[in-house]
Amino acid sequence: MGLDAFFDAARRDTPALSTQALDRMTAQALAVQADLAAPAPVTRAARPSRLAQLLGAIGGWPAMATLATAGVAGLWIGAVPPAGLVNLAVSVGAVTGVAEDDAYLVDPLPGYTLSLDLSETQ
Amino acid sequence: MPFDDLTRLDDDALLVLYANGDPSAARILTGRLAPIVQAHAWRLLRDRAEAEDVTQEALLRLWRIAPDWRQGEAKVTTWLYRVTANLATDRIRRRRGRTVDLDTIPEPEDDRPGVEDRMQDAARADALHRALQGLPERQRQAVVLRHIEGLANPDIAEIMEIGVEAVESLVARGKRGLAAALTGHREELGYQDDD
C-alpha cells in the first residue's frame, strides 16, 4: 500500500552521529566509570551527645516531659495535699494522731536514732 | 585483554568489564551503542539536538546501572530501546502546544550528486514523522520499532513489555492510521505510480 516507501525513506534519512557527539559520550562513559571505581567516602555517624543518649534511653522528649510533669505533680501533692486525700488517709488509718504511728512515715535514718539512744544511756 | 579481542564480546560481557573499570569496554560500548540509540531517538523526534541529548541521557543511565546489571536477563539494546523511547516520549509530550513551522527551517545546502533523492527522502520522512505524531504513543513506538528499526515482533514485545499479539495489534492499527494520514500526501511525494 506504499507505506514501505515511507519507511525506507525514514531509514535512509537518518543522520549519522557526529564525531564530536561520540567523543563527548565516550568522555562521559569514562567519567562515570572513574566515579564508579572511586571508593565511596566513609562517613562516620557523629556520636550522640549525653543529653541525646539520656533522651534515647527514656524514650525521647515526650517521655521527658511526662516525667517532669509527674515529678512536679508529686512535689505539689506532697507539699499541699488536697483535703480529700488527707481524709482518705485518715479513714484507712494511714494517718493517726501520733506522728510516729503514721503508716506513711518512713524513717530514713533508723541507725541515727538508735545511736543517739545508746549515747544517752552511757 | 587486547582491544581487538574485546570487540568480539557481546554487550552483556562488555558491560561487566565496564563496571569493573576497563576503559576499553567504555569506548567499545559507546561506539557500538550510541549510533543505535541516536538513530532511534532521531526517528522518534526528528530533531538532531534532542536526539543527541536523549542518547547521552540514555547512555548515562546505562553506565550508572552497569554495576547492578544482571547478565542474561535482558539484552542491553532492548533496555536501551525502552529507555530511549521513554525519554523521547517525554520530549514529545513537552513539545505539544509548541508548533514548528517547517517552512522556517533552512534547507541544507548540498550540491553533491543524489541530493534530489535525499531531499525527496527527507520530504517523505518528514511526512511520515508528522503522521506518526498523530498516532497514540504505543502505536507509534511499535510501528517505528517494527518498520523503521526492523526489529522482530518478539524483540519489540520485550522492549514494550507486552505480548507478541499485542505488538501485532498495535502495529496493524498504527499502519492503518498512517495510511489514512498519508493518503493526501502520496501524490505530492511522488507516489502517484505506486500500487
* Assigned CATH class of B1-99: mainly alpha
Do A71 and A86 share a structural domain? no
Q: How confident is the model at residue B152 (pLDDT cuts 50, 70, 90)?
A: very high
The structural domain count of chain A equals 2
Q: What is the pLDDT of residue A42?
A: 65
- Residue B183's contacts (CB-CB under 8 Å, 6 or more residues apart) are none
In a domain, A113, yes or no: yes
Interface confidence (ipTM) of the complex: 0.80
Rounded Cα distance, A11 and A98, in Å: 110
What is the arithmetic mean of pLDDT over B40-56?
95
> What confidence score (pLDDT) does residue B188 get?
58
A117 lies in the same domain as A87: yes
Shared-domain flag, residues A92 and A119: yes
Taking the CA of residue B161 and the nearest CA in chain A, the distance in Å comes to 24
User: Is A3 within 8 Å of chain B by CB?
Assistant: yes
Residue ranges of domains in chain B: 1-99, 101-195
Q: What DSSP assignment string belongs to A40-84?
A: PPP-PPPPPPHHHHHHHHHTSHHHHHHHHHHHHHHHHHHHS--HH
Residue A96 sits in the same domain as residue A121: yes
**Residues 34-63 of chain A whose Cβ lies under 8 A from any Cβ of chain B:** 36-37
- Is residue A5 domain-resident? no
pLDDT per residue over B107-126, tens digit each? 455 555 577 777 888 889 99
How many Cα neighbours within 13 Å face the side chain of B107? 12
> For position B106, what pLDDT does the model report?
46
Distance of residue B7 Cα from the nearest chain A Cα, in angstroms: 16
Examine the domain organization and report whether A66 and A86 are in the same domain.
Answer: no
Look up the domain containing A106 and give its range: 81-122
pLDDT in tens, chain A (122 residues): 489 999 999 999 999 999 999 999 999 999 999 998 877 666 666 677 777 777 777 777 778 788 788 888 878 877 777 777 767 767 776 666 555 555 555 555 666 655 666 666 65
- Interchain CB distance below 8 Å, B191 and A10: no
**B176 close to A (CB below 8 A):** no
Give the integer Cα–Cα distance in Å for B14 and B75: 12
Residue A44 in domain: no
> What architecture is domain B101-195?
Orthogonal Bundle (1.10)
Interface touch B42/A12, C-beta < 8 Å = no
A66-78 pLDDT, tens digit per residue, is 878 888 887 887 7
Residue A55 lies in a domain: yes
